[in-house]
Structure 1
Amino acid sequence: MLIFQLAVILLASKIAGDLSVKLGQPSVLGKLLIGIFLGPSVLGIVTNTDILKEISQIGVILLMFIAGLETDTEEFKRTGKASAFVGVSGIVVPFSLGYLAGMTIGLAPTESIFLGLLLSATSVSISVQALKEMGRLKSREGTTILGAAVIDDILVVIALAFVMSFAGGDVHLGTVVLKKVAFFAVAILLAWKVVPWVLKKFAPLRVTEAVISAGLMICFVYAYLAEYAGVAAIIGAYIAGVAISLTKYKHEITEKVETIGYSIFVPVFFTSIGVTAEFSGIAQHIGLIIGLSLLAIATKLAGSAIGAKLAGFSWRSSLGIGAAMVSRGEVALIIAAIGLESNLLQPELFSVIVVVVLVTTIVTPPMMKLFFHKPETGKQQKQ
């Protein structure tokens, strides 16, 4: 059954992606929508099995790994201040208004704080693909978005630990912060001393594709360490990509990882987001879904755009950066699952949040297209 589902996903995602491009939108939008069409909500051809989830997880890890490989480290250094502005302001606005929204709909103060944190989360995996297709990934805007996503993830997870410890959960804030500091310290040390050494040792091995195997090993180790430290695995994969981008093996690994990722794993990731959509029983909450969706989109767009403007970007670029930060993706879903388990999120509200996350993910690519103009490079982008 899995083999058939993979065949359907690959066929449908490529066709849908191409159609989306012909209609003037990023191909990722077509892949997201075709997932809804293939999933249980419409045709039911593809189901969200455990193994499909694992393949999807590899897909998003590889996508962020490629983003790291293609990052211009000098530009990354120059955009540090802008990333901080975007990351912080992109949390403050959604958190504040999310808290007020929670109190308005009758949630307890602690639950309202959790809702605010949930709306503050960002996942730029979708934005990364849209940036690649528009030739903007290596631009000042693209680098700022990636840096802001790292800052956003760290701050939201630390704030979440604080809320859960305050709410009586078995969470110690000091331990959470220490684990994250330790992860970034170890990640930097490995990037400086270990990553180049590993690649150098693997390069002369008389086996096929030794260098790409070493690159993938580094990627997965970083992703695992990040997840273990309570940082999203995609952040670890991104840092691994940046580390390898500083070595002479960057181009060889980038080319081959793109072939591996875009041939199977990344399409599965994009399509599986739509497949996970479950619309049964949400009709009674349609007003709340619309309200929270508009709130989620507007607050992240405005908050991040204000931060970008304060950092010196034009209004168009600022709104483009804000649009790229709108998608909540898998990061928000993970936080929502934690809230459900900790009784900080009611079961009926959890179902609503899942749909809201899907909405923010779907609207992100066309919003980015609106504010970012695709440069005339003459080079066909990967789909």
Structure 2
Amino acid sequence: MLIFQLAVILLASKIAGDISVRLGQPSVLGKLLIGIVLGPSVLGVVTNTEVIHEISQIGVILLMFIAGLETDMDEFKRTGKASTSVGVAGIIAPLALGFGAGLAMGQSPIESVFLGLLLSATSVSISVQTLKELGKLKSREGATIMGAAVIDDVLVILALAFLMSFAGGDVNLGMVILKKVAFFAIIILLSWKAVPWVLKKFAPLQVTESTVSAGLIICFLFAYFAEYTGVAAIIGAYIAGVAISLTKFREEIAHKTEAISYSIFVPVFFTSIGVTAQFAGIWENLWLIVFLSVLAIISKLIGGALGAKLSGFNWKNSMAIGSAMVSRGEVALIIAAIGLESGLLTQDMFAVLIVVVLITTIVTPPMMKLFFTGKGTEEDSVALRKNA
């Protein structure tokens, strides 16, 4: 059954991606939507089994690893101030509006803060693919988005730990902060010293694709270490890619990793997001879903855009950056699961927020296409077709 499901996912995602590009949208939008069609909510051809879930996790890790490999470090350094501004403003706006919405819905202050934090989370895995398709990943805007995503992830997780310590959760705030500090200190040291050494040692080995294997080993170990210390695995994978991008092995690893990733793992990741969609009972909470979806989209879009504008971008590029921060993705899903387990979210609210997260993920690619390209150019169309 697994083999059949993989065949269906790969076939459907490629066709849907091509149709999406022909309609002037990023291919990732078609892949997300076809997941909904294939999943239990519509056709029921593909189910979100544990194996499919694990393959999709590998997909998002490899996607962020490739993004790191393609990062222009000189541009990344120049956008540090802008990334901080976008990351912080992109948290303040949804946190404030989410808190106000929670109080208006009759939630307690601590539940309202939790809702605000959940809406503050961002996940740029979808945005990364769209940036690649639009040819913007190596731009100043792309570097700002990637830096802001790292800052956003760390600040939201720290704030969540702080909140849980007051909510009676079994959380040691000092230990959480210590783990984050230890992660970045160790990961920077490893990136500086260990990564080049490992690649040099693996390169001469008399086995097939030793250098690419070394790169993937580094990617997966960094991702595991990030997850172990409470930082999202995708952040660890991204940093691994950045570290390798500074070595002479960058082109070889990037080229061959892309072939592996986009052949199977990344399509499964995109499609599985749609497959996990559950629409049972949403009609009873339709207006709440609409309200929170609009709030989630507007708050992140405006917050990120204001942060970009304050750091010197024009309004068009600021809105483009803000749109890239809208997708909540797996980071928000993890936070929602924590809220359900700790009692800060009811089962009904949990189901509502899952749909909201899915909506923010689906609207992100067309929003980015709109703001990054305006009416679109021939160059943009070529980039879309090339990366489909």
After TM superposition, the score normalised by the length of structure 2 is 0.98
Match of 1:382 in 2: 387
Whole-Å Cα distance in 1 between the matches of residues 15 and 209 of structure 2? 30
Whole-Å Cα distance in 2 between the matches of residues 214 and 335 of structure 1? 32
2:290 aligned with 1:312: no
Whole-Å Cα distance in 1 between the matches of residues 218 and 23 of structure 2? 38
Unaligned runs of 5+ residues in structure 1 are none
Q: Match of 1:123, as an amino acid?
A: S
2:303 aligned with 1:303: yes
* Structure 1 runs, 4 residues or longer, greater than 3 Å off: 377-380
Q: Match of 1:232, as an amino acid?
A: A
2:81 aligned with 1:81: yes
Match of 2:108 in 1: 108
3-state SS of paired residue (1:208): coil
**CA RMSD, Structure 1 to Structure 2 (Å):** 0.9
Whole-Å Cα distance in 1 between the matches of residues 142 and 294 of structure 2? 24
3-state SS of paired residue (2:386): coil
Deviations 1:262-305 (A, max 9, x none): 00000000000000000011110000000000000000000000
Unaligned runs of 5+ residues in structure 2 are none
Q: Match of 1:242, as an amino acid?
A: V
| 1:132–1:381 Cα contact (<8 Å) kept | no
Deviation at 1:185, TM superposition (A): 0.5
Deviations 1:159-189 (A, max 9, x none): 0000000111110111101100100001100
Deviation at 1:382, TM superposition (A): 2.4
Q: Percent identity?
A: 74
2:56 aligned with 1:56: yes
After TM superposition, the score normalised by the length of structure 1 is 0.99
Q: Match of 1:200, as an amino acid?
A: K
Deviations 1:234-273 (A, max 9, x none): 0000000000000000000000000000000000000000
Deviation at 1:381, TM superposition (A): 2.6
Deviations 1:47-83 (A, max 9, x none): 0000100000000000000000000000000000000
Whole-Å Cα distance in 2 between the matches of residues 107 and 5 of structure 1? 42
Whole-Å Cα distance in 1 between the matches of residues 106 and 270 of structure 2? 35
Whole-Å Cα distance in 2 between the matches of residues 166 and 3 of structure 1? 47
3-state SS of paired residue (1:206): coil
2:341 aligned with 1:336: no
Deviations 1:80-135 (A, max 9, x none): 00000000000000000000000001111111000000000000000000000000
Whole-Å Cα distance in 1 between the matches of residues 17 and 110 of structure 2? 42
Deviations 1:28-50 (A, max 9, x none): 00000000000000000000000
Deviation at 1:12, TM superposition (A): 0.2
Deviations 1:203-224 (A, max 9, x none): 0000000000000000000000
1:7-156 → structure 2 map (5 Å cutoff): 7-156=7-156
Number of residue-to-residue matches in the alignment: 383
Q: Match of 1:68, as an amino acid?
A: G
